[in-house]
Amino acid sequence: MNDALLDLNMFEDSYEKCLKCNACVASCPVTGATLDFGGPKHMGPELKRLIDNQQVIDDKRIEYCTLCGNCDLSCPEDVHISTLTTYAKAIHTEKHGSSFRDFVLSNAELVGKMASAFAPVTNTAMKMKPMRQVMETVMRIPKERKFPKYKFKNFNRSFANKVHGSKRKVAYFVGCYAMYNAPEVAESFVKVMNFNGIEVVKPRQKCCGVPMLANGRLKQARKNAAFNIDSLLEYTRKGYDVVTTCTSCGLALKKEYLSIDGSDKAKELAAHVYDADEYLRMLKDNGELNTHLAPMKQKVGYHAPCHMRAQGMGTPAMDILELIPGFNIYDLGAGCCGQCGTFGFKKEKYGISMKLGRTMAESVKNLDADYTVTECGMCKNQLDQLTDKEVRHPMQILAESYERAKQLQTV
Ligand code: SF4
Ligand code: SF4
């Protein structure tokens, strides 16, 4: 029996509780969009049972699970469905191996480092039709799919904390997207923390592992988890809070590491991890938030990422942005955007991705706001693909409001 099969036994009690009520099936975005997927009940608890009884070895349909976590939220028996599907994916990949494309897509950090080092060339090449045709033919990445741009001046180069020796201190888990594609998000986060008198440090870190888990590369994700746990605990043990601006990274640090690492250290770390908006909301509840925010008379549509909802913390981005005077934010209420991390970059999944994104695109169109806001870089990618509105991260809006307030004070 391989490592992954052994680990499935960790969740024996969880899957035995399944009532077959189908609540998870009703909540699964992929089940509603294609008949090629077996659905969470079958791909989770039932597949686990079949594998245990050696009636099946694995099931190819597991490739369609995006690990969005919507099924977990709906289950009345607290079955760890997406954990079961994570392991079923790992079993499938161990048996059949990864394609070159899935290997590349699961290595967001390596790709980010290389693409960022040659950013002008990378970004131009990704727009060239012959290049995209080759990518479609060789790697099965559809030529219609937009890619996020890479920045030469990534966050490793632009990190600039200006507060030192504060009582509250933050160890920032940046994530690959804010590090290599959107350093402006990471820079805004540091500014927001500094406006609140909070020192920010950037610990050594590797990709959180979510793209690896989504592509069945469990062993690689585990190595990254072990590295990140040790690195971040060095800070939490000195009194730092761990904060991230990426909802997928947040879900990994808070929840996924508990299952793929499972150590006491993973539990210790999870207790200190916050999403950036969640952290600001906590500061507000404690009366510690700097509320000198300049008015921004804007109408904005908010898209809630699945991995934000999977953290079960409400909508902290809306709670915080609503503090800006004149700011009108509306929840698009659109469910899954359909990009689903690496899922939407795959040719055989592209049609499903577009189908899933339709509701969100219609909501954006109907609201006709000034722009859209979301925390997730991949949701932004899908919004960029399907809508013509600018897409911003909550930290960019808050940093702008704080900066304007400061300017007003000095005038
Ligand atoms: S994680 Fe998402 S895609 Fe996978 S079974 Fe659950 S709801 Fe469906
Ligand atoms: S929601 Fe939970 S109990 Fe109901 S079918 Fe799905 S796994 Fe089983």
Pocket test for ligand 2, best of 11, 20, 49 (most atoms within 8 A of CB): 20
**10 Å Cβ neighbour count for 176?**
26
Classify residue 211: in a domain, yes or no.
no
User: Does the structure show a pLDDT above 50 at 266?
Assistant: yes
Distance CA 371, CA 155 (A): 25
The percent of residues above 90 in pLDDT, for the chain, comes to 92
Give the mean model confidence (pLDDT) for residues 239-258.
97
Instruction: For 67-117, write each residue's pLDDT tens digit.
Output: 999 999 999 999 999 999 999 999 999 999 999 999 999 999 999 999 999
CB of residue 20 inside a 6 A radius of ligand 2: yes
Kindly give the number of the ligand 2 atom that is closest to the alpha carbon of 15: 7
State residue 14's pLDDT score: 77
What's the CA-to-centroid distance between 221 and ligand 2, angstroms?
27
State residue 5's pLDDT score: 46
State residue 12's pLDDT score: 54
User: Does the structure show a pLDDT above 60 at 2?
Assistant: no
State residue 7's pLDDT score: 55
CB of residue 79 inside a 6 A radius of ligand 1: no
Kindly give the number of the ligand 2 atom that is closest to the alpha carbon of 23: 1
Classify residue 280: in a domain, yes or no.
no
What's the CA-to-centroid distance between 91 and ligand 2, angstroms?
22
State residue 380's pLDDT score: 98
What's the CA-to-centroid distance between 29 and ligand 1, angstroms?
7
Smallest CA-to-CA distance from 354 within 45, 19, 88, 33 is with 33
Instruction: For 118-140, write each residue's pLDDT tens digit.
Output: 999 999 999 999 999 999 999 99
State residue 138's pLDDT score: 95
State residue 16's pLDDT score: 86
Of 80, 96, 112, the domain-final residue: 96
Instruction: Assign 171 to helix, strand or coil.
Output: strand
What's the CA-to-centroid distance between 351 and ligand 2, angstroms?
27
User: Does the structure show a pLDDT above 70 at 350?
Assistant: yes
Classify residue 164: in a domain, yes or no.
no
Classify residue 260: in a domain, yes or no.
no
What's the CA-to-centroid distance between 85 and ligand 2, angstroms?
13
State residue 88's pLDDT score: 92
Classify residue 156: in a domain, yes or no.
no
CB of residue 68 inside a 6 A radius of ligand 1: yes
Q: In whole angstroms, how far apart are CA 237 and each of 180, 252, 273, 384, 399?
A: 28, 20, 13, 40, 29
Instruction: Assign 241 to helix, strand or coil.
Output: strand
The percent of residues above 70 in pLDDT, for the chain, comes to 97
Alpha helices in 167-305 (DSSP H): 176, 183-195, 210-214, 218-236, 247-251, 257-260, 264-270, 276-285
Nearest C-alpha to atom 1 of ligand 1 is from which residue?
67
* Dihedral angle sign, alpha carbons of residues 282, 286, 290, 295: positive
Instruction: For 19-54, write each residue's pLDDT tens digit.
Output: 999 999 999 999 999 999 999 999 999 998 888 888
CB of residue 66 inside a 6 A radius of ligand 1: yes
CB of residue 71 inside a 6 A radius of ligand 1: yes
Indicate which CATH number applies to the domain containing 35: 1.10.1060.10
CB of residue 69 inside a 6 A radius of ligand 1: yes
55 pLDDT band, cuts 50/70/90, is confident
What's the CA-to-centroid distance between 220 and ligand 1, angstroms?
22
CB of residue 30 inside a 6 A radius of ligand 1: yes
Of 37, 66, 96, the domain-final residue: 96
Classify residue 208: in a domain, yes or no.
no
Classify residue 367: in a domain, yes or no.
yes
Number of domains in the chain: 2
Of 63, 96, 129, the domain-final residue: 96
Distance CA 383, CA 394 (A): 15
What's the CA-to-centroid distance between 58 and ligand 2, angstroms?
20
What's the CA-to-centroid distance between 71 and ligand 2, angstroms?
8
Instruction: Assign 256 to helix, strand or coil.
Output: helix
Nearest C-alpha to atom 6 of ligand 1 is from which residue?
71
Instruction: For 361-391, write each residue's pLDDT tens digit.
Output: 999 999 999 999 999 999 999 999 999 999 9
410 pLDDT band, cuts 50/70/90, is confident
Residue 337: domain span? 298-410
Instruction: For 169-184, write each residue's pLDDT tens digit.
Output: 999 999 999 999 999 9
Q: What is the mean pLDDT of the chain?
A: 95
Classify residue 274: in a domain, yes or no.
no
What's the CA-to-centroid distance between 285 and ligand 1, angstroms?
33
State residue 242's pLDDT score: 98
Indicate which CATH number applies to the domain containing 397: 3.40.50
Residue type, 109: E
Give the mean model confidence (pLDDT) for residues 281-302.
98
Nearest C-alpha to atom 6 of ligand 2 is from which residue?
24
